[in-house]
Amino acid sequence: MKPSPSHARRRPSLARRALPAIALTGASGFLLSALDRPNNSANAATPLGDGVASTITVGDVTILPAAAPAPTPAVAPAPTVAPQTPETTSSVPSTPVATINSNSVTTTPEPVAVETAPTVASTVPPAPVATPCRTVDGPTVNTRFGPVQVEASVSSSGRICSVDAIQSPSDRRKSRQISQYAVPILNGQVMAAQSKNINGVSGATYTSVGYYKSLQSILDSLGG
Amino acid sequence: MSTSPTLAPMNTQLGTRRTTHQPRRLLPARPSRALDTDLVWALGIYIAVITGIWIIHGGLSQFGDGTIGIATGVTQLTGLYASAAGLLGLFFAARPRILERHCGLDRLFNWHRVLGETMAVLVGVHVAAGIMAWQVDGQWGAVLADVTGRVPYFAGATVGAVLIGVVTVTSLKSIRNRLAYEAWYFLHLTAYLGFALSFGHTITSGTDFSDDAIARWIWIGLHVTVAATLVWSRWGHTMVAALRPLRVAEIQRVSHDVCTVRLAGGRLQQMRGSAGQFCFLRPLTAAGWWRCNPFSLSASPTTEGLRFSIKDRGDASNYITSLKVGTKIAVEGPYGVCTSDVALDRKVMFVVGGIGIAPARALLEDLPASAAPVVLYRARSRKDLIHYDELVELAARTNGRVLTLVGPSASLAVKDPFSASSLRRAIPDVAERVAILCGPERLLQAARHGLKRAGVHTSDIHYEHAWW
């Protein structure tokens, strides 16, 4: 009888066998802690499951992400005009603003209270005083999650005095959360860019595109 | 055991045997009550519910919304199906008795493999489509930052996808064969972690479960059901086996590289099992408690003991055959559906290679006299023929015979000993028989091919599928 081959082999140990799995688990834990940076700064009150993150480009101009530190100097606000008090995001309605009837064109003196999210409050542009602004409602754009309609006040010189969405997707709890979060950021982006060339809000892609289309048609109609 | 080997009279003798404290055969495992049609229905309902949840929440309508709509739809659907395939794969790996008794552990594990591979492919498509759906104008950096962690629960999903990828790659046969079994197994366990990590994002993102409480509870319920099956059927059985271990009663070397190991213990009074099945053995020793390997019963199981014939093929088999008498061993099983039930009342033939003789040897004990079994026993050399005398004696009791085919393949007189003509010459009535195959994968393939050519119907060819 031959000597059993078992004596020639090294006896395997649990540590050796478990090492790959333990290393993989450790690497996963490390990766998880390195990656897990949920952007809760803007939505601490109403956590969104969906996109609450960086900006994306809707128009043809690329702006820094809204979640990044606000690029204030780029817009160079006039020193005489203090930024308007930012309103809370909860005032951004999913229903139309009560004071302005849809399809009406009204004239309001500047400065107009601009509804902005706190993170973009400092990007409010300079506001020359006493130029009258026309308020125009854009067309309703139907997106997959609901209609989006933008209302903008634009001065005769083409400056955007104020902008807001008077309709945004609100059928579902989730849609309301996203609208509540995204619309102020979009408003802020328009005010900062003073054009339709905005980033969108990542995770609110449909709302962003609908918003962009509605705004585009307002600016096109005014610009001739 | 020296009385009639048929199963039916056995049961009538049980009472008398018990009173005289004679060893008795274990009762055969209860058959599954599930029918093929039941399983098809269950699977159909499962797929329909998951697809239905997606369609109700506007899954189909987004395909009219351009690239982003299509990407969103694909992301949702592949995500749902990946989770569904993974859940089903975990359910199979939990070895629920109703399925194991129906189709055998080998088939369950093969389905587990197919589902796991399907899930990995779906996860890949899910990730790619998700990135497409998230971006708008090619800002890939921002999109990647979002989907890998800036969105709540997405870091877990990313790590989960990576883990599932690693588990799938290490299970590819070419890579798996380079790993020690236990190293592979422990890596495989991290799939649980990957699955758990990715669960959060399925609830919070997308539109299917975040808004609809009913859909959400159906989804959570599916996960809880699978988790409960794992705890009860998988880990519970492991615990029972460890808490009521059998002990090594006898180890005998029967050839230069094969030992028989007999395990005995009080738990045998409650166990069920039949010849042709196999058990997972876990030696409860400092060096062995973390190793669990399957071995075939090589004798009909009785209350006196379970006998296994174990060939020295690696660390685990060497270790078990070197244990001392009295060592505790946790026994899980028996599993497998290739028992004497497959013979019905027909004549039987075996094609056996190497250590595959173990289950065939056990089955010979259980076959009725009408089986007239013919055993084709392929071995590399004379000294590799094990249990030969037992085989001849058992076969003779049931009007059968044993044909051996010994020598390296190159030295055989016929080129293919399992060709249809060779089989017909050896067994003139081969086409009328039920064939049971036990042996290495190459032998199974050759024998299956030859038997089909010789006119044996596919449903009459029984064998354990190789699951690795």
Pairing of strands B246-253, B258-264: antiparallel
Separation between Cα atoms, residue B357 and residue B376, nearest integer Å: 10
CB of A31 within 8 Å of any CB in chain B? yes
Record the tokens describing residue B343, joined without a space: 């013979």
Radius of gyration of chain A (CA): 26
For B25-81, how does the pLDDT look when each residue is reduced to its tens digit (9 = 90+)?
A: 888 888 888 888 899 999 999 999 999 999 988 778 888 777 878 888 899 999 999
pLDDT band at B133 (very low <50, low <70, confident <90, very high): confident
When pLDDT is averaged across residues B409-428 and rounded to a whole number, the result is 80
Residue B281's DSSP bridge partners are B293, B331
Residues of B in contact with A203 (CB under 8 A): 134, 146, 151
CB of A82 within 8 Å of any CB in chain B? no
Whether residue B292 has pLDDT greater than 80? yes
C-beta of residue B281 within 8 angstroms of C-beta of residue B295: yes
Residue B141: Cβ-neighbour burial (10 angstroms; 0-12, 13-18, 19+)? exposed
Alpha helices in chain A (DSSP H): 14-35, 72-75, 173-193, 205-223
Q: Between chains, do A56 and B136 touch, taking CB under 8 Å as contact?
A: yes
When pLDDT is averaged across residues A153-172 and rounded to a whole number, the result is 84
Q: B140 to chain A: nearest residue by CA?
A: A56
Q: Least CB-CB distance to A2: which of B142, B143, B256? A: B256
For residue A131, give every residue at least 6 positions away whose Cβ sits within 8 Å of its Cβ, in sequence order, or none. Answer: A110, A155, A156, A157, A159
Nearest residue to B401 via CA among B347, B336, B362, B462: B347
C-beta of residue A193 within 8 angstroms of C-beta of residue A63: yes
pLDDT band at A65 (very low <50, low <70, confident <90, very high): very low
For B442-454, how does the pLDDT look when each residue is reduced to its tens digit (9 = 90+)?
A: 889 999 999 999 9
Range of A60-69, A215-224, B239-248, B382-391 with top mean pLDDT: B239-248
Residues of A in contact with B194 (CB under 8 A): 28
Q: Between residues 129 and 188 of chain A, which touch chain B (CB distance below 8 Å)? A: 144, 172-174
Whether residue A71 has pLDDT greater than 60? no
Helix or strand or coil: residue A151?
A: strand
Residue B340: how many other CB atoms lie within 10 Å: 24
Separation between Cα atoms, residue A158 and residue B360, nearest integer Å: 91
Q: A16 to chain B: nearest residue by CA?
A: B183
For B325-371, how does the pLDDT look when each residue is reduced to its tens digit (9 = 90+)?
A: 999 999 998 999 988 888 888 899 999 988 889 999 999 998 888 88
pLDDT, position B90: 95
pLDDT band at B273 (very low <50, low <70, confident <90, very high): very high
When pLDDT is averaged across residues A62-81 and rounded to a whole number, the result is 37
Whether residue B84 has pLDDT greater than 50? yes
Q: Between chains, do B190 and A25 touch, taking CB under 8 Å as contact?
A: yes
pLDDT, position A160: 87
Q: What is the mean pLDDT of chain B?
A: 87
When pLDDT is averaged across residues B287-296 and rounded to a whole number, the result is 91
Choose from B61, B139, B185, B282 for mutation: most chain A CBs within 10 A.
B139
Residue A159: how many other CB atoms lie within 10 Å: 16
When pLDDT is averaged across residues A40-48 and rounded to a whole number, the result is 36
DSSP E strands in B233-326: the ranges are 246-253, 258-264, 278-283, 293-296, 306-311
Phi, psi of B346 (to 5 degrees): -100, 175
Q: Least CB-CB distance to B315: which of A9, A20, A47? A: A9
pLDDT, position A7: 45
Separation between Cα atoms, residue A19 and residue B376, nearest integer Å: 44
C-alpha triplet B71, B166, B315: angle, nearest 5°: 155
For B88-128, how does the pLDDT look when each residue is reduced to its tens digit (9 = 90+)?
A: 999 999 999 889 998 899 999 999 999 999 999 999 999 99
Separation between Cα atoms, residue B210 and residue A220, nearest integer Å: 38
Whether residue A105 has pLDDT greater than 60? no
Phi, psi of B334 (to 5 degrees): -75, 155
Separation between Cα atoms, residue B385 and residue B380, nearest integer Å: 8
Instruction: Tell which wins on pLDDT, B16 or A180.
Output: A180
C-beta of residue B184 within 8 angstroms of C-beta of residue B170: yes
Residue B375's DSSP bridge partners are B350, B402
CB of A35 within 8 Å of any CB in chain B? yes
Q: Least CB-CB distance to B142: which of A18, A48, A65? A: A65
Record the tokens describing residue B223, joined without a space: 């996960």
Torsion-angle region of A24 (φ positive above 0: left; ψ -120 to 50: alpha; else: beta)? alpha
pLDDT band at A177 (very low <50, low <70, confident <90, very high): confident
Pick the CATH number of B340-462 from 1.25.10.10, 3.30.930.10, 3.40.50.80, 3.40.50.300: 3.40.50.80
Provide the number of CB pairs (under 8 Å) joining chain A to chain B: 161
For B165-219, how does the pLDDT look when each residue is reduced to its tens digit (9 = 90+)?
A: 999 999 998 999 899 889 999 999 999 999 999 999 988 876 778 778 899 999 9
Alpha helices in B61-209 (DSSP H): 66-93, 97-134, 140-145, 154-170, 173-176, 181-204
Instruction: Report the sign of the C-alpha dihedral through residues B40, B46, B52, B55, in that order.
Output: negative
Q: What is the mean pLDDT of chain A?
A: 65
Q: Least CB-CB distance to B163: which of A1, A28, A48? A: A28
For B249-272, how does the pLDDT look when each residue is reduced to its tens digit (9 = 90+)?
A: 999 999 888 999 999 998 999 899
Q: Between chains, do B159 and A208 touch, taking CB under 8 Å as contact?
A: no
Q: Between residues 47 and 66 of chain B, which touch chain A (CB distance below 8 Å)? A: 58, 61-62, 65
CB of B70 within 8 Å of any CB in chain A? no
pLDDT, position A184: 87
| CA B420 from centre of chain | 30
Tell me the C-alpha to C-alpha distance, in Å, between residue B51 and each of B37, B70, B226, B256.
21, 16, 19, 58
When pLDDT is averaged across residues B455-461 and rounded to a whole number, the result is 91
C-alpha triplet A170, A176, A177: angle, nearest 5°: 165
Whether residue A125 has pLDDT greater than 70? no
Choose from A10, A11, A14 for mutation: most chain B CBs within 10 A.
A14
C-beta of residue A81 within 8 angstroms of C-beta of residue A126: yes
Which residue in this structure is represented by tokens 């027909």? B346
For residue B154, give every residue at least 6 positions away whose Cβ sits within 8 Å of its Cβ, in sequence order, or none. Answer: A35, A38, B146, B147, B148, B201, B205
Q: Between chains, do B62 and A1 touch, taking CB under 8 Å as contact?
A: no
Q: B156 to chain A: nearest residue by CA?
A: A32
pLDDT, position B116: 94
Whether residue B399 has pLDDT greater than 50? yes
Choose from B159, B284, B293, B311 for mutation: most chain A CBs within 10 A.
B159
Q: Between chains, do B159 and A28 touch, taking CB under 8 Å as contact?
A: yes
Residues of B in contact with A171 (CB under 8 A): none
Q: Least CB-CB distance to A4: which of B153, B207, B312? A: B312
pLDDT, position B452: 92
Q: B207 to chain A: nearest residue by CA?
A: A174
Choose from B70, B72, B136 for mutation: most chain A CBs within 10 A.
B136
Among A33-42, A52-61, A91-100, B270-279, whose mean pLDDT is lowest? A91-100
CB of A74 within 8 Å of any CB in chain B? no
Separation between Cα atoms, residue B19 and residue B4, nearest integer Å: 19
Architecture field, domain B245-335? Beta Barrel (2.40)
Phi, psi of B348 (to 5 degrees): -125, 145
pLDDT, position A131: 64
Distance in Å, alpha carbon of B250 to nearest chain A alpha carbon: 19
pLDDT, position A94: 36
Whether residue A215 has pLDDT greater than 80? yes
pLDDT, position A39: 60
Q: Between chains, do B134 and A205 touch, taking CB under 8 Å as contact?
A: yes
Question: Could you state, in order of their start, the residue ranges of all structural domains in chain B?
Answer: 36-240, 245-335, 340-462
Q: Which helix (H) or strand (E) holds B426?
A: helix B420-426
Separation between Cα atoms, residue B304 and residue B197, nearest integer Å: 47
Record the tokens describing residue A84, joined without a space: 């308007």
Instruction: Report the sign of the C-alpha dihedral through residues A137, A141, A147, A148, in that order.
Output: negative
pLDDT, position B57: 84
Q: A14 to chain B: nearest residue by CA?
A: B290
When pLDDT is averaged across residues B374-394 and rounded to a whole number, the result is 90
Q: Which residues of A1-22 are buried (b: 16+ CB within 10 A; e: fewer)?
A: eeeeeeeeeeebeeeebbebbe
Helix or strand or coil: residue B464?
A: coil
pLDDT, position B191: 94
